[in-house]
């Protein structure tokens, strides 16, 4: 029985990362060989959540060392190698790779992008090249940084199930997956305009960050609700009556593709721009551009196939 350690931004009520974890375990379980998974998670005590899945406190370095020493493979999941949120988080993830290398473990970096601004990118790339056996990036732009890097679309796209796809012919309900942005007034105006014609459903992906922002937007319209996800596996039910998705989050685009829902991406983040260009050969729509068009959405909808 093979043992695998998975680490990423898990346990912080972020739908995208929890979905990535769930889908990765499902994919890694496809082979006939049975596996035990150990996941570095934001919890206080070690806990077994499924028969073959155990969560390890991400700040308990004794448990982390013990887990790394026992597993065969260490896998990094998600866009961890960035310093936008903090340098400490970047150093934490590099430390996990360093420990895995010391214990001579097989190391895979999956579903990542290299998005460092405050420290030399060449430094991070050289460390990844030295530590990792394989690197899989989710945008083609990052292929230029490492000969080891291979392009692989976001892992969550493999959660697609054709028999569960339902395509609406008309737009009655719009799902809004948005986070705090500097263009709040334009976004607020867009919600006000669209709510006069459509029902608006706000879905906060990162609950702690997005819920207060969605609540603020909801207070400006009459025809809207907020839906908070509880279990990742319930996302198909959450989106079942939504006809169009407007998103500023990366995994809002992915969920639209998995569910074959038409979408409009309004993100200004470089990682989102690069990802949708790699996957769909399109770019986001700016809120100011939509404002110039009186927030008419019909001409800017992308229909994933």
Same domain, residue pair 92 and 42: yes
**What is the rounded (10 degree) CA torsion for 152, 23, 237, 247?**
-40
User: pLDDT averaged over consecutive 10-residue blocks of the chain (305 residues)?
Assistant: 94 96 93 89 96 96 97 95 82 95 97 85 89 93 88 90 67 93 88 94 96 95 93 92 94 93 88 86 80 76 67
Picking from 126, 159, 192, the residue at the C-terminal end of a domain is 159
What does the pLDDT read at residue 299? 67
Looking at 105, 127, 159, the residue that finishes a domain is 159
142 and 178 assigned to the same domain: no
User: What is the model's pLDDT at position 115?
Assistant: 82
Do 184 and 124 share a domain, yes or no?
no
Q: Which pLDDT score, from 0 to 100, does residue 123 have? A: 86
pLDDT tens-digit readout, 17-52:
999 999 999 999 887 688 999 999 999 999 999 989
CA distances (Å), 151 to each of 44, 76, 275, in order?
Answer: 35, 15, 11
What pLDDT, on the 0 to 100 scale, is given for residue 11?
Answer: 96
Q: Is 29 helix (H, G, I), strand (E, B) or coil?
A: coil
Given this model, what pLDDT does residue 77 score?
Answer: 97
The last residue of a domain, from among 142, 159, 176: 159
Indicate whether 6 and 155 sit together in one domain: yes
Amino acid 118: pLDDT: 82
Per-residue burial over 263-276, b if 16 or more Cβ lie within 10 Å, else e, is bbbbbebebbbbbb
Q: Does the global pTM surpass 0.75?
A: yes
Give strand ranges (E) for 78-214.
Answer: 106-112, 134-137, 149-151, 173-177, 199-202
Do 252 and 103 reside in the same domain of the chain? no
Specify whether 86 is located in the same domain as 173.
Answer: no
| Cβ count near 121 (within 10 Å) | 15
The string of pLDDT tens digits covering residues 136-182 is: 999 898 888 888 999 998 999 998 876 666 666 778 999 999 998 88
**Ramachandran bin of 265, using left for φ above 0, alpha for ψ from -120 to 50, beta for the remaining angles:** beta
Structure confidence at residue 113 (pLDDT): 87
**Same domain, yes or no, for 194 and 122?**
no
List the CATH number of the domain containing 96.
3.40.50.2000
Report how far residue 54's alpha carbon sits from residue 198's, in angstroms, rounded to the nearest whole number: 43
Query: Is there a single domain that holds both residue 151 and residue 167?
Result: no
Residues 19 and 77: beta-carbon distance below 8 Å:
no
Tell me the residue range of the domain where 130 lies.
Answer: 2-159
Please check whether residue 305 lies inside any domain of the structure: no
């Amino acid at each position: 029985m093979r043992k695998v350690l998975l680490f990423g931004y898990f346990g912080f009520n972020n739908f995208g990362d929890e979905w990535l974890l769930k889908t990765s375990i499902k994919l890694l379980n496809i082979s006939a060989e049975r596996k035990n998974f150990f996941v570095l998670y934001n919890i206080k005590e070690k806990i077994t959540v499924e028969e073959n899945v155990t969560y390890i406190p991400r700040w308990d370095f004794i448990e982390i060392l013990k887990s790394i020493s026992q597993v065969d493979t260490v896998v990094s999941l998600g866009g961890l190698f960035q310093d936008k949120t903090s340098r400490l988080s970047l150093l934490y993830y590099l430390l996990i790779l360093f420990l895995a290398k010391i214990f001579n473990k097989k190391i895979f970096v999956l579903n990542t992008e290299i998005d460092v601004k405050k420290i030399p990118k060449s430094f991070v790339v050289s460390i990844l090249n030295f530590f990792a056996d394989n690197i899989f990036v989710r945008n083609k732009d990052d292929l230029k940084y490492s000969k080891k890097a291979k392009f692989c679309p976001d892992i969550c796209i493999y959660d697609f199930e054709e028999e569960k796809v339902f395509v609406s012919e008309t737009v009655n309900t719009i799902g809004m997956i948005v986070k705090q942005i500097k263009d709040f007034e334009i976004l607020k105006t867009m919600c006000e305009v669209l709510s006069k014609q459509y029902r608006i459903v706000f879905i906060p992906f990162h609950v702690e960050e997005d819920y207060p922002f969605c609540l603020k937007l909801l207070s400006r319209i009459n025809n809207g609700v907020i839906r908070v996800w509880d279990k990742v596996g319930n996302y198909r039910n959450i989106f079942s009556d939504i006809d169009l998705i407007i998103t500023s989050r990366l995994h809002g685009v992915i969920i639209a593709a998995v569910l074959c829902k038409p979408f409009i991406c309004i993100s200004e983040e470089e990682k989102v721009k690069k990802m949708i260009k790699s996957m769909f050969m399109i770019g986001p729509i700016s809120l100011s551009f939509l404002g110039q068009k009186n927030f008419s959405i019909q001409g800017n909808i992308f229909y994933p196939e």
